[in-house]
Amino acid sequence: MEEPVIETELSTIASEEEIYVTRPNLPPLESLLPSLAAIWESGRLTNNGPFHRRFENELGKHLGVGNVNLFSNATLALIVGLEALRILGEVITTPYSFVATTHALQWNGITPVFCDIDERTFNIDPDKIEALITTRTSAIMPVHVYGRPCEVDKIQAIADKYGLKVIYDAAHAFGVTMKDKNLLLEGDMSILSFHGTKLFTTFEGGAIITRDEKLKKRIDFLKNFGFADEVTVVGPGINGKMNEFQAAVGLLGLQIVQDEISKRKSVAEAYHKRLDGVRGIKTYAAPDEVSYNYAYFPILIDEEEFGASRDEVYERLKRHNVFARRYFYPLISDMPTYRNLPSAGREHLPVAGRVADHVLCLPMYGTLEPKSVHAICNCIRNDR
Protein backbone atom coordinates (compact mmCIF):
# COMPACT_ATOMS: atom_id res chain seq x y z
CA MET A 1 0.00 0.00 0.00
CA GLU A 2 1.35 3.43 -0.96
CA GLU A 3 2.04 5.74 1.95
CA PRO A 4 0.38 9.17 1.79
CA VAL A 5 2.26 12.30 0.87
CA ILE A 6 3.63 13.99 3.96
CA GLU A 7 3.30 17.62 2.92
CA THR A 8 4.99 18.94 6.05
CA GLU A 9 8.11 16.94 5.20
CA LEU A 10 8.18 18.23 1.62
CA SER A 11 7.68 21.77 2.89
CA THR A 12 10.52 21.23 5.34
CA ILE A 13 12.88 20.26 2.52
CA ALA A 14 11.87 23.34 0.53
CA SER A 15 12.46 25.69 3.47
CA GLU A 16 15.76 24.27 4.67
CA GLU A 17 19.25 24.40 3.24
CA GLU A 18 19.50 23.04 -0.28
CA ILE A 19 20.31 19.33 -0.55
CA TYR A 20 22.88 18.53 -3.23
CA VAL A 21 23.84 15.18 -4.68
CA THR A 22 26.81 15.05 -2.30
CA ARG A 23 28.71 17.00 0.35
CA PRO A 24 32.47 16.86 0.94
CA ASN A 25 33.62 14.68 3.81
CA LEU A 26 36.07 17.05 5.50
CA PRO A 27 38.05 16.64 8.73
CA PRO A 28 37.35 19.11 11.56
CA LEU A 29 38.92 22.46 10.74
CA GLU A 30 40.80 22.61 14.03
CA SER A 31 42.57 19.33 13.20
CA LEU A 32 44.06 20.92 10.08
CA LEU A 33 45.55 23.96 11.82
CA PRO A 34 48.71 22.21 13.19
CA SER A 35 49.47 20.94 9.68
CA LEU A 36 49.06 24.41 8.22
CA ALA A 37 51.38 25.81 10.87
CA ALA A 38 53.99 23.18 10.00
CA ILE A 39 53.73 24.00 6.29
CA TRP A 40 54.13 27.74 7.00
CA GLU A 41 57.12 27.08 9.23
CA SER A 42 58.87 24.79 6.74
CA GLY A 43 58.23 26.97 3.70
CA ARG A 44 57.76 23.79 1.63
CA LEU A 45 54.59 24.20 -0.39
CA THR A 46 55.10 21.60 -3.13
CA ASN A 47 57.81 19.52 -4.88
CA ASN A 48 57.59 16.29 -2.88
CA GLY A 49 57.52 17.91 0.56
CA PRO A 50 57.16 16.09 3.90
CA PHE A 51 53.34 15.98 3.88
CA HIS A 52 53.36 14.69 0.31
CA ARG A 53 55.75 11.89 1.23
CA ARG A 54 53.76 10.97 4.35
CA PHE A 55 50.44 10.96 2.51
CA GLU A 56 51.80 8.86 -0.34
CA ASN A 57 53.06 6.29 2.17
CA GLU A 58 49.91 6.26 4.35
CA LEU A 59 47.60 6.13 1.34
CA GLY A 60 49.47 3.11 0.01
CA LYS A 61 49.05 1.36 3.35
CA HIS A 62 45.36 2.23 3.53
CA LEU A 63 44.71 0.93 0.02
CA GLY A 64 46.98 -2.08 0.32
CA VAL A 65 49.16 -1.08 -2.62
CA GLY A 66 52.88 -0.50 -3.00
CA ASN A 67 53.24 2.18 -5.69
CA VAL A 68 51.31 5.44 -5.41
CA ASN A 69 51.84 8.57 -7.51
CA LEU A 70 49.99 11.61 -6.14
CA PHE A 71 48.58 14.25 -8.49
CA SER A 72 47.00 17.67 -8.23
CA ASN A 73 43.91 16.25 -9.95
CA ALA A 74 42.75 13.01 -11.54
CA THR A 75 42.48 14.35 -15.09
CA LEU A 76 46.22 15.09 -15.11
CA ALA A 77 46.77 11.63 -13.64
CA LEU A 78 44.90 10.08 -16.58
CA ILE A 79 46.83 12.16 -19.11
CA VAL A 80 50.21 11.32 -17.56
CA GLY A 81 49.31 7.66 -17.07
CA LEU A 82 48.55 7.24 -20.76
CA GLU A 83 51.83 8.97 -21.67
CA ALA A 84 53.77 6.83 -19.20
CA LEU A 85 52.44 3.65 -20.82
CA ARG A 86 53.18 5.11 -24.29
CA ILE A 87 49.60 4.52 -25.43
CA LEU A 88 48.93 5.48 -29.06
CA GLY A 89 46.35 4.86 -31.77
CA GLU A 90 42.95 3.77 -30.47
CA VAL A 91 41.69 2.99 -26.97
CA ILE A 92 38.42 1.19 -26.31
CA THR A 93 36.48 2.90 -23.56
CA THR A 94 32.99 3.59 -22.26
CA PRO A 95 30.66 6.42 -23.28
CA TYR A 96 29.04 6.24 -19.83
CA SER A 97 31.35 8.26 -17.60
CA PHE A 98 32.37 11.79 -16.75
CA VAL A 99 33.80 13.47 -19.83
CA ALA A 100 37.34 13.73 -18.38
CA THR A 101 37.80 10.01 -19.08
CA THR A 102 37.66 10.61 -22.82
CA HIS A 103 39.26 14.06 -22.72
CA ALA A 104 42.45 12.46 -21.39
CA LEU A 105 42.61 10.30 -24.53
CA GLN A 106 42.14 13.29 -26.81
CA TRP A 107 44.85 15.29 -25.02
CA ASN A 108 47.25 12.44 -25.80
CA GLY A 109 46.24 12.32 -29.47
CA ILE A 110 44.46 8.98 -28.97
CA THR A 111 41.21 8.10 -30.72
CA PRO A 112 38.48 6.90 -28.33
CA VAL A 113 36.44 3.92 -29.48
CA PHE A 114 33.18 3.65 -27.57
CA CYS A 115 31.94 0.29 -26.35
CA ASP A 116 28.43 -0.32 -25.04
CA ILE A 117 27.80 -1.07 -21.36
CA ASP A 118 26.20 -3.82 -19.31
CA GLU A 119 22.85 -2.74 -17.88
CA ARG A 120 23.44 -4.83 -14.72
CA THR A 121 26.60 -2.96 -13.75
CA PHE A 122 26.67 0.23 -15.91
CA ASN A 123 30.27 -0.75 -16.73
CA ILE A 124 31.82 -1.51 -20.12
CA ASP A 125 30.45 -4.78 -21.51
CA PRO A 126 33.43 -7.13 -21.97
CA ASP A 127 31.45 -9.28 -24.40
CA LYS A 128 31.39 -6.34 -26.83
CA ILE A 129 35.04 -5.30 -26.62
CA GLU A 130 36.66 -7.84 -28.92
CA ALA A 131 34.61 -6.84 -31.97
CA LEU A 132 36.00 -3.28 -31.66
CA ILE A 133 39.70 -4.24 -31.68
CA THR A 134 41.68 -3.18 -34.76
CA THR A 135 45.34 -3.03 -35.70
CA ARG A 136 45.42 0.47 -34.16
CA THR A 137 44.05 -0.59 -30.76
CA SER A 138 46.63 -0.23 -27.99
CA ALA A 139 44.60 -0.33 -24.78
CA ILE A 140 41.27 -0.71 -23.01
CA MET A 141 40.20 1.99 -20.56
CA PRO A 142 37.18 0.88 -18.51
CA VAL A 143 35.55 2.81 -15.65
CA HIS A 144 34.38 1.32 -12.35
CA VAL A 145 31.12 3.28 -12.62
CA TYR A 146 29.68 4.36 -9.25
CA GLY A 147 32.46 2.28 -7.67
CA ARG A 148 30.97 -1.01 -8.92
CA PRO A 149 33.86 -3.22 -10.13
CA CYS A 150 34.23 -4.05 -13.80
CA GLU A 151 34.50 -7.67 -14.90
CA VAL A 152 38.25 -7.48 -14.52
CA ASP A 153 39.05 -11.12 -15.34
CA LYS A 154 37.22 -11.02 -18.67
CA ILE A 155 38.80 -7.70 -19.60
CA GLN A 156 42.29 -8.91 -18.73
CA ALA A 157 41.82 -12.08 -20.76
CA ILE A 158 40.98 -10.00 -23.83
CA ALA A 159 43.94 -7.69 -23.20
CA ASP A 160 46.31 -10.62 -22.86
CA LYS A 161 44.98 -12.23 -26.04
CA TYR A 162 45.65 -9.12 -28.12
CA GLY A 163 48.63 -7.64 -26.27
CA LEU A 164 46.75 -4.58 -24.98
CA LYS A 165 47.28 -2.41 -21.92
CA VAL A 166 44.45 -1.90 -19.42
CA ILE A 167 44.02 1.44 -17.62
CA TYR A 168 41.20 1.60 -15.09
CA ASP A 169 39.48 4.88 -14.37
CA ALA A 170 38.81 4.16 -10.69
CA ALA A 171 37.67 7.69 -9.82
CA HIS A 172 34.60 6.30 -8.01
CA ALA A 173 36.24 3.25 -6.47
CA PHE A 174 38.11 4.55 -3.41
CA GLY A 175 37.74 2.08 -0.56
CA VAL A 176 36.08 -0.62 -2.66
CA THR A 177 37.46 -4.09 -1.94
CA MET A 178 36.74 -7.48 -3.49
CA LYS A 179 36.83 -10.83 -1.78
CA ASP A 180 39.79 -12.34 -3.58
CA LYS A 181 41.73 -9.43 -5.09
CA ASN A 182 42.72 -5.79 -4.75
CA LEU A 183 40.63 -3.93 -7.32
CA LEU A 184 43.21 -1.15 -7.67
CA LEU A 185 45.93 -3.60 -8.69
CA GLU A 186 44.01 -4.89 -11.71
CA GLY A 187 45.26 -4.00 -15.18
CA ASP A 188 48.38 -1.92 -15.74
CA MET A 189 47.27 1.03 -13.62
CA SER A 190 44.29 2.50 -11.80
CA ILE A 191 43.48 6.20 -11.54
CA LEU A 192 41.82 7.60 -8.39
CA SER A 193 40.10 10.97 -7.98
CA PHE A 194 40.08 13.04 -4.78
CA HIS A 195 37.86 15.80 -6.17
CA GLY A 196 35.54 17.63 -3.77
CA THR A 197 32.57 15.57 -4.98
CA LYS A 198 34.22 12.26 -4.17
CA LEU A 199 33.89 10.02 -1.12
CA PHE A 200 37.51 10.81 -0.19
CA THR A 201 38.73 14.30 -1.00
CA THR A 202 41.81 16.50 -0.90
CA PHE A 203 39.78 19.42 -2.36
CA GLU A 204 41.24 18.54 -5.76
CA GLY A 205 43.63 15.67 -6.26
CA GLY A 206 44.19 12.22 -7.64
CA ALA A 207 46.57 9.31 -7.77
CA ILE A 208 47.91 6.58 -10.04
CA ILE A 209 48.24 3.08 -8.61
CA THR A 210 50.63 0.64 -10.32
CA ARG A 211 52.33 -2.66 -9.58
CA ASP A 212 55.52 -1.68 -11.45
CA GLU A 213 58.15 0.29 -9.52
CA LYS A 214 59.93 1.36 -12.72
CA LEU A 215 56.66 2.69 -14.07
CA LYS A 216 56.11 4.62 -10.85
CA LYS A 217 59.49 6.33 -11.30
CA ARG A 218 58.67 7.25 -14.90
CA ILE A 219 55.34 8.73 -13.77
CA ASP A 220 57.10 10.74 -11.06
CA PHE A 221 59.41 12.20 -13.72
CA LEU A 222 56.56 13.01 -16.10
CA LYS A 223 54.39 14.75 -13.50
CA ASN A 224 57.34 17.05 -12.65
CA PHE A 225 58.05 18.47 -16.12
CA GLY A 226 59.99 15.31 -17.05
CA PHE A 227 62.92 16.07 -14.74
CA ALA A 228 64.93 13.04 -13.62
CA ASP A 229 67.46 15.32 -11.89
CA GLU A 230 68.45 18.99 -11.98
CA VAL A 231 69.58 18.95 -15.58
CA THR A 232 68.04 15.84 -17.18
CA VAL A 233 64.57 15.81 -18.78
CA VAL A 234 63.49 12.29 -19.75
CA GLY A 235 60.20 13.04 -21.46
CA PRO A 236 57.53 15.64 -22.31
CA GLY A 237 56.48 16.17 -18.72
CA ILE A 238 53.76 18.28 -17.20
CA ASN A 239 53.17 19.94 -13.84
CA GLY A 240 50.84 17.48 -12.11
CA LYS A 241 52.27 17.47 -8.59
CA MET A 242 50.09 17.44 -5.49
CA ASN A 243 50.90 20.28 -3.09
CA GLU A 244 51.48 20.13 0.66
CA PHE A 245 48.07 21.51 1.60
CA GLN A 246 46.26 18.83 -0.39
CA ALA A 247 48.47 16.15 1.14
CA ALA A 248 47.79 17.44 4.67
CA VAL A 249 44.03 17.30 4.03
CA GLY A 250 44.43 13.78 2.63
CA LEU A 251 46.28 12.53 5.71
CA LEU A 252 43.43 13.70 7.94
CA GLY A 253 40.84 12.39 5.51
CA LEU A 254 42.19 8.85 5.85
CA GLN A 255 41.18 8.95 9.52
CA ILE A 256 37.50 9.61 8.76
CA VAL A 257 36.80 7.87 5.46
CA GLN A 258 35.74 4.49 6.91
CA ASP A 259 33.23 6.21 9.17
CA GLU A 260 31.84 8.04 6.14
CA ILE A 261 31.43 4.76 4.26
CA SER A 262 29.57 3.28 7.22
CA LYS A 263 27.21 6.26 7.40
CA ARG A 264 26.60 6.16 3.66
CA LYS A 265 25.69 2.50 3.93
CA SER A 266 22.92 3.47 6.38
CA VAL A 267 21.67 6.14 3.95
CA ALA A 268 21.63 3.56 1.13
CA GLU A 269 19.67 1.14 3.31
CA ALA A 270 17.11 3.87 4.02
CA TYR A 271 16.70 4.54 0.30
CA HIS A 272 16.28 0.83 -0.42
CA LYS A 273 13.64 0.52 2.29
CA ARG A 274 11.58 3.33 0.76
CA LEU A 275 12.13 2.71 -2.98
CA ASP A 276 12.63 -1.03 -3.49
CA GLY A 277 9.52 -2.52 -5.01
CA VAL A 278 8.12 0.78 -6.31
CA ARG A 279 6.79 0.06 -9.78
CA GLY A 280 8.85 1.79 -12.45
CA ILE A 281 11.88 2.48 -10.21
CA LYS A 282 14.91 0.21 -10.32
CA THR A 283 17.49 0.37 -7.53
CA TYR A 284 20.86 -1.36 -7.33
CA ALA A 285 22.19 -3.25 -4.31
CA ALA A 286 25.89 -3.59 -3.48
CA PRO A 287 27.49 -6.29 -5.67
CA ASP A 288 28.08 -9.75 -4.20
CA GLU A 289 31.55 -10.38 -2.73
CA VAL A 290 32.32 -6.67 -2.88
CA SER A 291 32.80 -4.34 0.07
CA TYR A 292 31.17 -1.29 -1.46
CA ASN A 293 31.86 2.40 -0.74
CA TYR A 294 28.33 3.77 -1.35
CA ALA A 295 29.74 6.62 -3.40
CA TYR A 296 26.50 7.00 -5.36
CA PHE A 297 22.86 5.92 -5.23
CA PRO A 298 21.60 5.58 -8.82
CA ILE A 299 18.04 4.69 -9.77
CA LEU A 300 16.52 4.06 -13.18
CA ILE A 301 13.04 5.50 -13.82
CA ASP A 302 10.76 3.86 -16.39
CA GLU A 303 8.28 6.54 -17.43
CA GLU A 304 5.67 4.11 -18.74
CA GLU A 305 5.55 2.06 -15.55
CA PHE A 306 6.17 4.85 -13.04
CA GLY A 307 3.91 7.47 -14.57
CA ALA A 308 6.54 10.23 -14.67
CA SER A 309 9.76 10.61 -16.62
CA ARG A 310 13.23 10.83 -15.13
CA ASP A 311 13.39 14.52 -16.05
CA GLU A 312 10.01 15.22 -14.47
CA VAL A 313 11.22 13.65 -11.21
CA TYR A 314 14.49 15.58 -11.48
CA GLU A 315 12.62 18.89 -11.85
CA ARG A 316 10.15 18.00 -9.09
CA LEU A 317 12.98 17.39 -6.65
CA LYS A 318 14.57 20.71 -7.62
CA ARG A 319 11.33 22.50 -6.73
CA HIS A 320 11.84 21.13 -3.22
CA ASN A 321 15.52 22.24 -3.16
CA VAL A 322 16.79 18.70 -3.72
CA PHE A 323 19.46 18.65 -6.42
CA ALA A 324 19.87 15.11 -7.71
CA ARG A 325 22.08 14.61 -10.78
CA ARG A 326 21.62 12.78 -14.06
CA TYR A 327 24.95 10.95 -13.87
CA PHE A 328 25.79 10.30 -16.72
CA TYR A 329 23.68 12.28 -19.15
CA PRO A 330 24.29 13.04 -21.91
CA LEU A 331 26.58 10.24 -22.98
CA ILE A 332 30.13 11.37 -23.80
CA SER A 333 29.51 10.01 -27.30
CA ASP A 334 26.52 12.37 -27.69
CA MET A 335 28.60 15.48 -26.98
CA PRO A 336 29.57 17.66 -29.98
CA THR A 337 33.27 16.98 -29.40
CA TYR A 338 32.84 13.24 -29.90
CA ARG A 339 29.54 12.52 -31.65
CA ASN A 340 31.10 12.35 -35.13
CA LEU A 341 33.36 9.45 -34.21
CA PRO A 342 32.41 6.22 -36.03
CA SER A 343 31.74 4.44 -32.73
CA ALA A 344 29.61 7.24 -31.24
CA GLY A 345 26.24 6.55 -32.87
CA ARG A 346 23.39 5.56 -30.56
CA GLU A 347 22.79 2.51 -32.77
CA HIS A 348 26.14 1.15 -31.53
CA LEU A 349 25.42 2.01 -27.88
CA PRO A 350 21.79 1.03 -27.20
CA VAL A 351 22.24 0.05 -23.55
CA ALA A 352 24.33 3.10 -22.66
CA GLY A 353 21.79 5.35 -24.36
CA ARG A 354 18.88 3.77 -22.52
CA VAL A 355 20.58 4.04 -19.13
CA ALA A 356 21.66 7.65 -19.71
CA ASP A 357 18.08 8.61 -20.55
CA HIS A 358 16.63 7.04 -17.38
CA VAL A 359 19.26 7.37 -14.64
CA LEU A 360 19.05 9.66 -11.63
CA CYS A 361 21.61 9.74 -8.82
CA LEU A 362 20.01 10.70 -5.51
CA PRO A 363 21.74 12.70 -2.75
CA MET A 364 24.29 10.51 -0.98
CA TYR A 365 26.54 11.58 1.88
CA GLY A 366 27.08 10.50 5.46
CA THR A 367 25.40 13.47 7.14
CA LEU A 368 22.19 13.20 5.10
CA GLU A 369 19.53 12.88 7.78
CA PRO A 370 17.01 9.99 7.78
CA LYS A 371 14.10 12.45 7.74
CA SER A 372 15.52 14.01 4.56
CA VAL A 373 15.87 10.61 2.88
CA HIS A 374 12.30 9.81 3.91
CA ALA A 375 10.97 13.08 2.47
CA ILE A 376 13.02 12.77 -0.74
CA CYS A 377 11.54 9.33 -1.34
CA ASN A 378 8.03 10.62 -0.63
CA CYS A 379 8.62 13.39 -3.13
CA ILE A 380 9.71 10.83 -5.76
CA ARG A 381 6.89 8.40 -5.05
CA ASN A 382 3.84 10.50 -4.31
CA ASP A 383 4.04 14.18 -5.29
CA ARG A 384 3.04 13.78 -8.94
With cut-offs at 50, 70 and 90, classify the pLDDT of residue 286.
confident
2 in a structural domain: no
Looking at the fold, whether 74 and 196 belong to one and the same domain comes out as yes
End residue of a domain, out of 253, 272, 305: 253
Please, what's the largest Cα pairwise distance for the chain?
74
pLDDT in tens, 71-124: 999 999 999 999 999 999 999 999 999 999 999 999 999 999 999 999 999 999
User: How far, in Å, CA of 232 to CA of 67, rounded?
Assistant: 23
281: phi then psi, degrees, rounded to nearest 5 = -120, 125
Tell me which residue range forms the domain holding 81.
29-253
Query: pTM of the prediction?
Result: 0.95
What is the predicted pLDDT for the residue at 333?
98
pLDDT in tens, 232-283: 998 889 999 999 999 999 999 999 999 999 999 999 999 999 999 999 999 9
What is the predicted pLDDT for the residue at 179?
87
What is the predicted pLDDT for the residue at 8?
45
1 in a structural domain: no
What is the predicted pLDDT for the residue at 9?
55
pLDDT in tens, 293-336: 999 999 999 999 999 999 999 999 999 999 999 999 999 999 99
Q: In total, how many domains does the chain have?
A: 2
Element (H, E) at 22: none
User: How far, in Å, CA of 122 to CA of 151, rounded?
Assistant: 11
What is the predicted pLDDT for the residue at 85?
98
Looking at the fold, whether 297 and 349 belong to one and the same domain comes out as yes
Looking at the fold, whether 76 and 208 belong to one and the same domain comes out as yes
Count the Cβ atoms, other than its own, within 10 Å of residue 305.
11
Looking at the fold, whether 39 and 157 belong to one and the same domain comes out as yes
Residue of 286 and 186 predicted with greater confidence = 186
Looking at the fold, whether 172 and 283 belong to one and the same domain comes out as no
For residue 16, the domain's CATH number is 3.90.1150.10
Looking at the fold, whether 169 and 312 belong to one and the same domain comes out as no
CB 65, CB 201: distance < 8 Å = no
Q: Is the pLDDT of residue 51 over 60?
A: yes
pLDDT in tens, 138-171: 999 999 999 999 999 999 999 999 999 999 999 9
CB 252, CB 201: distance < 8 Å = no
Looking at the fold, whether 18 and 42 belong to one and the same domain comes out as no
End residue of a domain, out of 220, 253, 286: 253
β-bridge partners, 166: 140
**CA-to-CA dists, residue 168 to 81, 133, 160, 190, angstroms:** 10, 18, 15, 5
Q: Is the pLDDT of residue 11 over 70?
A: no
What is the predicted pLDDT for the residue at 30?
98
Please choose, from the candidates 369, 276, 363, the residue with its C-alpha nearest in 3D space to the C-alpha of residue 322.
363
Angle between helices 370-382 and 7-15 (to 10 degrees): 120
Element (H, E) at 66: none
End residue of a domain, out of 253, 288, 311: 253
What is the predicted pLDDT for the residue at 384?
45
What is the predicted pLDDT for the residue at 287?
82
